Amino acid sequence: MSEIMARAKYAVVERADYSDIICEQCGSGERPGELLLCDKCDKGFHMRCLRPIVVRIPIGSWLCPKCSGHRRKRIIDFFKIQKSGDGKKKCKLNQDTRKRRRRPLVLLKKRRRLLPFIPSEDPNQRLKQMGTLASALTAMQMEFSDDLTYSSDMAPRSANQAKFENGGMQVLSREDMETLELCRSMSRRGECPPFIVVFDSCEGYTVEADAQIKDMTFIAEYTGDVDYIKNRENDDCDSMMTLLLATNPSESLVICPDKCGNIARFINGINNHTPEGKKKQNCKCVRYSVNGECRVLLVATRDIAKGERLYYDYNGYEHEYPTHHFV
């Protein structure tokens, strides 16, 4: 019966007077301009009292957390999570990865191999983490994508070749490629990296660690639409990432996460003109050649404590991005 009721259509009887509406979270009726009314139960909620915070008035109908229902199914559908069919295979893969990493300490320090992220054990916590990302992407009117995307009106995939890079590009090693594929397969199963997206009144959306992250841990790949830099000279997107710096400037590429992307879109940059800003950096963007194609990976540069926000230097390559105004 509960499943039938959850799928049933609903209708709310319009009130003659909404002046007595209060927020179900804080109990206050102040700031009526920030009160959202659920289209199913007709109860009110302040946009900033909801978790995650709603920063823009939703377009179309809106349901409160209680009435939205089937949260797990919605998260699974949003991220296109695949069901895990072989737990033993997964366990064996993790064990094999650990075996390969049992190397002398000196060699580890010299080679600096990537480490896979460790998902939260609690499935409900992982749902909460993915829910914060889904809310942020929805608020920005973006779709989730963990891959680079190519459109007919932008750069074709054939343009993304590491051999076009001016001066060459670092090649991702076999072991690091296995780590990357392990992390991607975990994400496809819904075993996401332990991060949450929060909204800050000064910084906007930003990312916090929801568990301790070790130095050299893979955080995310920077994804979005791939386009030529020449097509984006007058673009107002503030999150474009260099993908390819070609010998011929007209062949240089950028990643544009304005229509689709992942959690990397919400990791903020440092003010690299102040000592305080530089101290905040705890991850970096690295461009690699992966099977002949350019990819951008975000990697932890030191241990990151739970609750610490993630920052990296936007000027990793060209030193042209203005960061004087950054917090």
The arithmetic mean of pLDDT across residues 256-284, rounded, is 87
Q: pLDDT value at position 107?
A: 38
The pLDDT tens digits of the residues spanning 273-291 come to 677 777 889 999 899 999 9
Q: pLDDT value at position 271?
A: 67
Q: Is it true that domain 20-72 has CATH number 3.90.1150.10?
A: no
Q: pLDDT value at position 201?
A: 86
The answer to whether 22 and 31 are in contact (CB under 8 A) is no
How far is the C-alpha of 212 from the C-alpha of 300, rounded, in Å? 11
Of 133, 275, 277, nearest to 206 by C-alpha is: 133
Residue 14 has pLDDT above 80, yes or no: no
Q: Does 151 or 94 have the greater pLDDT score?
A: 151
Q: pLDDT value at position 223?
A: 97
Where is mean pLDDT largest: 100-114, 160-174, 262-276, 292-306?
292-306
Q: Does 199 or 274 have the greater pLDDT score?
A: 199
Residues listed for the chain: 327
Q: pLDDT value at position 85?
A: 55
Q: What global pTM score does this model have?
A: 0.70
Distance in Å from the first CA to the final CA of the chain: 52
Q: Is it true that domain 123-312 has CATH number 3.30.43.10?
A: no
Q: Which of 34-48, 62-76, 142-156 shows the lowest per-residue confidence on average (mean pLDDT)?
A: 62-76
Q: pLDDT value at position 269?
A: 87
Q: pLDDT value at position 56?
A: 76
How far is the C-alpha of 207 from the C-alpha of 258, rounded, in Å? 17
The answer to whether 319 and 305 are in contact (CB under 8 A) is no
How far is the C-alpha of 126 from the C-alpha of 131, rounded, in Å? 8
Q: Does 311 or 86 have the greater pLDDT score?
A: 311
Q: Which of 9-13, 82-86, 141-145 shows the lowest per-residue confidence on average (mean pLDDT)?
A: 9-13
Q: pLDDT value at position 108?
A: 40
Q: pLDDT value at position 106?
A: 42
Is 123-312 in the same CATH topology as 20-72?
A: no
Mean of pLDDT over the chain: 82
Sorted by where each begins, the domain ranges of the chain are 20-72, 123-312
Q: Which of 78-87, 168-177, 186-195, 286-295 shows the lowest per-residue confidence on average (mean pLDDT)?
A: 78-87
The pLDDT tens digits of the residues spanning 77-134 come to 788 787 665 444 444 445 444 444 444 444 344 567 999 999 999 999 999 999 999 9
Of 304, 291, 298, nearest to 266 by C-alpha is: 298
At 66, is the pLDDT very low, low, confident or very high (cuts 50, 70, 90)? confident
